[in-house]
Structure 1
Amino acid sequence: MASFAPPRADSTIAQKWFEESTSVDGEFRDLLENYSHVSSDSVVPHVVNTRNAAWQIHPYPCLGQFRFLELNLSHRDLYSRLLDDLKTQPDARFLDIGCCLGQDLRKLIYDGAPPERVAGAELNGAFIDLGYELFKDKKALAGKTPIVSANILEDPSSPSSPLYSLAGTFSAVQLGMLLHLFTWEEQITAFRYTLSLLRGNTGDRIFGQATGHLDGTPTASVSARATFKHNADTFTKLVTEFGQTTNTSWKIVTAELDNGLSVFDGKRTWDDPRTRRLVFEIERES
């Protein structure tokens, strides 16, 4: 990833994203109590302490607002098919790029996906370590589920890449909350390198979410880089260009903006009011 200066965790901007505590209910509590074996009365302090450590690494809004507790992947329509493929198809494998604390990986494993068929990649290795602390499973996953520190803007087919041994093995890849950090050209690079991680078969899938924008427009980041936030039309153009540059064809299964990211909760008063969440899924046709 090209370098940029993120807001400090104690900056005024970052603190607007920071919630002191949270409740932990439903699926995430079930995951911690029954997968990680965290006692019921320890769940909330365990989550808050882990989040606070993650916040000091990088003050992402999703961390400040405990959004990793939502387990968004498991709520998507594609989840049941993904889980079934991992359980039943011998060549099905899933990679979560930008996995952060690895919550989606643990949910898949808890729901029955074989640990050796899922993998994660995260730019900052400190988040990987915190994920092991949060879910208490470093020994359990050792030798089964690779979670590596890697940059999707670097060629995974290079022998020096942490993803080199995994290239060409996946049937599905998630790009989690990444695209809006990149320029249009970097997004094409990210998709092109994701392609090299896939098997190369019809039906291979790339899906994820990102911060989007009703207008689909370049927006200056904290370092004034012209990153791009999509609407459905601009995302379609991006996928078309990606297909043309790689001589591949892709069906857009989903490309839509919704009200995720708490855009209407009254807390994002500093944000562009036309901000939305982009949710997408594309499937290889040829």
Structure 2
Amino acid sequence: MIDEATAKSKYWVEEPPIHAHPDAVALIRHYRPEYKDANSMVDLLKDIRLKAWKIKYYPCVGLWHFFKFGMMQLPIYPEIIQRLKDGQRILDMGCFMGMDGRKLIMDGAPSSGVTNMDLEDRWFPLSYDLFKDQDEFKGEFFGGCDINDEELFGEGSIHRHRYDMIYIGYFIHLFPPNRQQKIMNNLVQMLRPVAGSMIFGNTAGTAKENGYKMKADFAPPVRNEKGEMERPDFVFHSTKTVVDLMADSVMENEDEEWEFLAQKTSFDTDTSPTKAFALHFKDAEIVEVDFCMKRK
């Protein structure tokens, strides 16, 4: 795993982007009205972020990318809200501190329809430290959930065929490309097998048509086919490659029809990434890729 000093040199911005993300500020003030404006909550945000960083040196933590609501920017966001109001259920897989779920609730969705899930459950107490909503949040948190573990999605699991919608914000790029198709199929097993059920999300992507691959320095080494230890591959998807990934994940379900959509948007650079960050990713032509796969 990358050491903290190296991670900070690439993936650390000191000040929270409070003026670039008024929606995040409004969300925190919705739950914490004692904070009268953005500037008053800076110390709180720095404290919570530092505690999260000590758990995992993730770029999205050090660069404050979790401060951006990837779900809200999607054109289908109003549909998501309405479907939750109609009694459907959403799973935020890789939820971190559950900020997107709380944004859904603030925007009118009932909290009882929101399930948050992550491999790392140490994020969850931090979320309650930030939002102080233990008494009013009626949704669910499931920690220690490994999407590679069949017990999570297989026969007999409470999560199998349970969710109408699954959101994977900045999630799929955490996995080596040779495992992503299986992971997407595992997620499909958690969807209700009905028309309209969908998996959607965002990922760090590339403008290069066929994607871009590099080594992931923030992930622990793995053993390759030769038995040698090496850093796993990290892939930036293009709109083309992410559609191919989604289609391949359900290609054995011949009796089902799916719709696959993807679009690229500009990558969030308002956190002014460090020079080391820019140098590290200089060849990637980074964009953000939003995507959705929906049963017809």
Question: 1:143-154 alignment to 2 at 5 Å?
Answer: 144-149=138-143, 150-154=145-149
Higher relative contact order (CA 8 A, sep 6+): 2
- 16, 19, 24: which one pairs with 1:22? 16
Of 196, 203, 211, the residue aligned with 2:196 is: 203
1:238 is matched with 245
Q: Which consecutive residues of structure 2, in runs of 5 or more, have no partner in the other structure?
A: 222-230
How far apart in 1 are the matches of 2:166 and 2:279? 33
- Listed one character per residue, the Cα deviations across residues 148-206 of structure 1 (whole Å, up to 9, x for unaligned) are 1111222223489xxx3233121111112121121233211221111111111111111
Which residue number corresponds to residue 103 of structure 1?
99
Aligned partner letter, 1:233: K
Q: SS in structure 2 opposite 1:40?
A: coil
Deviates more, 1:231-240 or 1:38-47: 38-47
Question: How many residues of Structure 1 are paired with residues of Structure 2 in the alignment?
Answer: 271
Q: Normalization by structure 1: what TM-score?
A: 0.86
For 2:225, the equivalent position in structure 1 comes to: none
Shift in Å, 1:46:
1.1
Preserved CA contact (<8 Å) 2:13 2:272 = no
For residues 21-55 of structure 1, give each alpha carbon's deviation from its aligned partner in whole angstroms, at most 9, with x where no partner exists. Answer: 22525222221122233422642211111011111
Alignment of 1:279 onto 2:290: yes
Q: Structure 2 vs 1, CA of residues 28 and 189 (structure 1 numbering), >3 Å: closer, same or farther?
A: same
Q: Quote how far apart the aligned CAs of 1:11 are.
A: 2.1
Structure-2 change in CA distance of 1:154 and 1:37 (3 Å): farther
**Contact 1:177–1:211 (8 Å) recurs in 2:** yes
Aligned to 2:258: 250
> Is contact 2:74–2:290 with CA below 8 Å preserved after alignment?
no
2:228 counterpart residue number: none
| Kept in 2: contact 1:23–1:44 (CA 8 A) | no
Q: C-alpha separation between the residues in 2 aligned to 1:258 and 1:134?
A: 29
Helix, strand or coil for the counterpart of 1:119? Answer: strand
Alignment of 1:134-283 (within 5 A): 134-141=130-137, 144-149=138-143, 150-155=145-150, 156-158=152-154, 164-213=157-206, 214=208, 215-222=210-217, 223=221, 224-247=231-254, 248-253=256-261, 255-262=262-269, 267=274, 268-273=278-283, 274-283=285-294
Q: Distance in 2 between matches of 1:145 and 1:206?
A: 19
Identity %: 24
Among candidates 123, 127, 148, match of residue 127 of structure 1:
123
Gaps of 5+ in 1: none
Instruction: Let me know the Cα RMSD of the aligned residues.
Output: 2.2
Distance 1:38 1:103, change over 3 A: farther
What is the CA-CA distance between 1:102 and the residue it aligns to? 0.8
Higher alpha-carbon deviation: 105-114 or 62-71: 62-71
